[in-house]
Amino acid sequence: MLLIRNRLAAMMSVSLVGLLAAALVVAGPLNPPGGAVSSTYKTLSEVEPRIAINSTNTPGGAGETYLISQPGSYYLTGNITMTSGKHAVAVSSADVTIDLNGYTIAGVSGASYGVVGYSGVGRIVVRNGSFRAGPFQSIFIGADSLVENVMAIQANTSVDAINVGDRSVVRNCRVSTAGAAVNVGNQCVVEGLTATGVVSGVNATSKVDVVVRDCSMTCVGSGSGVYGQSRLSVARCQFQGFVFGVVASDYAVVEDCRVSGGAIGVYVGSNSTVRRVQVQTMTSQGVSVGDASVLEGVDARSCTANGITVSSDCVLTRCNASGGASSGFVGISRNTFVECISAKNTAGSGFVVSDSNIFETCRADENTGDGFNGRFGNVWRDCTARANTGDGVEGSSGTVVLNGRFDSNGNGATVGANIRLVGDAGRVEGNTLISGDFGIQTTSGGTVIIRNSSRNSGNSYGGISGGNDVGPIGSAATATSPWANIQY
- With a cut of 50, say whether residue 63 has pLDDT above it: yes
Provide the b/e sequence for 122-158 (b: ≥16 CB within 10 Å): bbbbbbebbbbbbbbbbbbbbbbbbbebbbbbbbebe
- CB neighbour list of residue 99: distance below 8 Å, 6 or more residues apart: 50, 73, 74, 75, 76, 127, 128, 129
Q: Phi and psi of 297, rounded to 5°?
A: 60, 35
Length of the chain: 488
State how far the alpha carbon of 22 is from the alpha carbons of 25, 26, 478, in Å. Answer: 5, 7, 109
pLDDT per residue over 444-457, tens digit each?
Answer: 999 999 999 999 88
222 vs 372: which has the higher pLDDT: 372
From the list 126, 181, 177, 186, the residue with the least C-alpha distance to 156 is: 177
- Whole-number Å distance between alpha carbons of 59 and 73: 16
Three-state SS at 243:
coil
Beta 264-267 vs 287-289: how paired, if at all? parallel
Looking at residue 28, its amino acid is: G
Tell me if residue 478 falls in helix, strand or coil: coil
pLDDT number for residue 36: 61
Residue 355 pLDDT greater than 90, yes or no: yes
pLDDT at 23 over 50: no
Report the C-alpha gap between 374 and 297 in whole angstroms.
23
Q: What are phi and psi of 40, to 5 degrees?
A: -110, 0
Which element (helix H / strand E) includes 20?
helix 2-26
Average pLDDT of the residues in 332-359: 97
pLDDT at residue 17 greater than cutoff 50: no
User: What does the pLDDT read at residue 11?
Assistant: 43
Q: What is the pLDDT of residues 103-136, one digit of tens each?
A: 999 999 999 999 999 999 999 999 999 999 999 9
pLDDT tens string 373-418: 999 999 999 999 999 999 999 999 999 999 999 999 987 767 889 9
Q: What is the chain's alpha carbon radius of gyration, rounded to the nearest angstrom?
A: 37
Q: What is the pLDDT of residue 458?
A: 79
First to last CA, the chain: 118
Euclidean distance between CA atoms 406 and 409, whole angstroms = 7
Query: How many Å apart are CA 233 and CA 246, to the nearest integer?
Result: 10
10 Å CB burial of residue 189 (0-12, 13-18, 19+) is: middle
Residue-level pLDDT at 51 = 98
| Chain segment 318-343, per-residue pLDDT in tens | 999 999 999 999 999 999 999 999 99
- H helix runs in 257-416, sequence order: none
Mean pLDDT score of the chain: 92
pLDDT at 76 > cutoff 90? yes
* Predicted pLDDT at 4: 40
Give the least confident one: 39-53, 85-99, 230-244.
Answer: 39-53
User: How high is the pLDDT of residue 19?
Assistant: 37
pTM (2 decimals)? 0.88
pLDDT grade, residue 251 (50/70/90)? very high
- For residue 52, the Cα-to-chain-centroid distance in whole angstroms is 41
- Work out the pLDDT band at 10, boundaries 50, 70, 90: very low
Closest among 187, 253, 175, 164 to 217, alpha carbons compared:
175
Percent of the chain at pLDDT exceeding 90: 85
DSSP 382-441: S-EEES-SS-SEEE-TT-EEES-EEES-S-SSS--EEEEE-SSS-EEES-EEESSSEEEE
pLDDT at 21: 41
Residue 468 has pLDDT above 70, yes or no: yes
